[in-house]
């Protein structure tokens, strides 16, 4: 089935913001994180940027592949906010096409290609040298829709409780529940 953008999804061009301050991918309060910033696109698509820091190295001066996979995972995961669906990554297939040096800004774009029941299929590319530069990484993913219980049941108590007492998180969790 064709994906359907939620009527209350952020407008094209709007920043999505972090879903959780401590998230390794997008959290502003996470000192070790990627600080990835995603912006809504048309339909169920978005763009995002992430600049490779010295802490993200694998080989000397080059981004670690797992960090690049994390950037793709976070970008693809952000798409679910445009559907107003809570989902987790079930499968992430990554192609590393060219090495990405420290200091490079990765220009990511992603879109949901299909939705089938709880399954959300999506694809992403990361380009270097600008939004129209050569592709350095790409990924195809399958996200699976879950209930908030997924996090409450499996997450560590102290972080779950902190997230639940954060007014913004509660608002967001409510929004998920009233707009399934």
Ligand X SMILES: CCCCCCCCCCCCCCCC(=O)SCCNC(=O)CCNC(=O)[C@H](O)C(C)(C)COP(=O)(O)OP(=O)(O)OC[C@H]1O[C@@H](n2cnc3c(N)ncnc32)[C@H](O)[C@@H]1OP(=O)(O)O
> Interface with ligand X includes 117 (CB under 6 A)?
yes
Length of the chain: 180
Residues 11-30 that bind ligand X (CB under 6 A): 19, 25
Nearer to ligand X, 98 or 147 (CB): 147
One residue of 98, 118, 147, 174 binding ligand X per CB under 6 A: 118
Nearer to ligand X, 24 or 96 (CB): 24
By CB atoms closer than 10 A (0-12, 13-18, 19+), residue 124 is buried
Min dist. Cβ of residue 153 to ligand X (A): 10
Listed ranges 10-18, 33-41, 48-56, 141-149: which one lies at the site for ligand X (CB under 6 A): 141-149
> Interface with ligand X includes 130 (CB under 6 A)?
no
Nearer to ligand X, 19 or 138 (CB): 19
One residue of 51, 91, 131, 134 binding ligand X per CB under 6 A: 91
> Interface with ligand X includes 114 (CB under 6 A)?
no
CB distance 121 to 114 below 8 Å: yes
| Contact positions vs ligand X (CB under 6 A) | 19, 25, 73-74, 77, 86, 88-91, 117-119, 142, 144, 146, 148, 151, 160, 163-164, 169, 173
């Amino acid at each position: 089935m064709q994906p359907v953008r939620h009527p209350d999804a952020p407008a094209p061009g709007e920043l999505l913001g972090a879903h959780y301050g401590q998230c390794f991918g997008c959290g502003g309060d996470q000192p070790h994180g990627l600080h990835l910033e995603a912006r809504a696109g048309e339909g169920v698509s978005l763009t995002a940027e992430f600049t490779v820091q010295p802490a993200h190295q694998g080989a000397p001066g080059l981004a670690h592949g797992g960090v690049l996979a994390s950037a793709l995972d976070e970008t693809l995961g952000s798409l679910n906010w445009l559907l107003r669906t809570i989902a987790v990554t079930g499968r992430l297939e990554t192609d590393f096409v060219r090495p990405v040096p420290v200091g490079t800004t990765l220009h990511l774009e992603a879109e949901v290609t299909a939705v089938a029941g709880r399954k959300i299929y999506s694809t992403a590319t990361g380009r270097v040298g600008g939004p129209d530069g050569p592709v350095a990484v790409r990924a195809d993913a399958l996200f699976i829709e879950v209930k908030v219980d997924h996090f409450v049941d499996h997450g560590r108590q102290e972080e779950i409780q902190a997230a639940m007492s954060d007014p913004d998180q509660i608002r967001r969790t409510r929004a998920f529940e009233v707009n399934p």
